[in-house]
Amino acid sequence: MFNGKMKAVTFSYDDGVMQDVRLIEILDKYNLKATFNLNAGNFGTKPDLSIDGKIIKRDLVRADEVKERYKNHEVAVHTLTHPNLIDCSDDEVVRQVEEDRKILEALVGYDVVGMAYPCGGINNDERVARIVREKTKIKYARTITSTLSFDLQDNLYQVNPTVHSMADMDNWFRLAEAFIELKTDTPKIFYIWGHSYEFDYSEERWGMLEDFCKLISNREDIFYGTNKEVLLAGR
């Protein structure tokens, strides 16, 4: 259970970009909680991205901005420099995770125990998950494999989210309606992930985000928490 409730909603956003400021304003407006997965080795860089031929600005958070920007939410590991961990040696996996974690902890002043695997495609496997579980202080790690399901998962080191907030927007809203109507005697999680810069593709996307947050928020039978609060509840 989640603070006495059977249903929980949590958000997870990667990379630590300037668009997180606008995203957090919307989340805070609707009393929603998220986890932000940051690459400490990339702080302050400005790697622009092209989405369908449109250049999207991606100014990454500076170290001195982290604590204040994410104060109402959770900060988690996204590795030091964002490599695909499948391609890394065992020692490099540990270094990428633990160095990022240590830097983030020093900035925010609390234990950083969460993680999201970086890169697209196949970005994790049993070897990497085992290393993270056995040789780091991480207690959960999120993949990018959407399940379109609310079921709890036993493997906390390869946690699959429910849905991506932009790649599958039709299911995003359909699932929200289903979750709101759901009556359950067993714990269920609606776990949304993505990148806040994806909303900068158009104002319509930002509007859809706000519509979604308004729809899912402030329900008496739903707990709203960070990834840590939801995934580690009762464990």
Residue-wise pLDDT for 49-63, tens only, equals 777 788 888 899 999
CB atoms within 10 A of CB 29: 12
Report d(CA 154, CA 226) in Å as an integer.
18
Does residue 235 carry a pLDDT above 90?
A: no
Contacts of 108 (CB under 8 A, 6+ apart): 66, 67, 70, 75
Q: With cut-offs at 50, 70 and 90, classify the pLDDT of residue 8.
A: very high
The residue type of 3 is N
Does residue 33 carry a pLDDT above 80?
A: yes
- Round to the nearest angstrom and report the end-to-end CA distance of the chain: 10
Topology of 7-231 in CATH? Answer: TIM Barrel (3.20.20)
- Can you give the pLDDT at residue 168? 78
pTM summary value: 0.96
Residue % of the chain over a pLDDT of 90: 87
Across the range 177-192, mean pLDDT stands at 97
- Can you give the pLDDT at residue 98? 98
Does residue 234 carry a pLDDT above 70?
A: no
Please tell me the least confidently modeled range out of 37-51, 61-75, 182-196.
Answer: 37-51
- Angle made by CA atoms 192, 49, 132, in degrees to the nearest 5: 50
Report d(CA 135, CA 140) in Å as an integer.
13
Q: With cut-offs at 50, 70 and 90, classify the pLDDT of residue 87.
A: very high
Across the range 181-204, mean pLDDT stands at 95
Q: With cut-offs at 50, 70 and 90, classify the pLDDT of residue 224.
A: very high
Contacts of 232 (CB under 8 A, 6+ apart): 113, 139, 140, 156
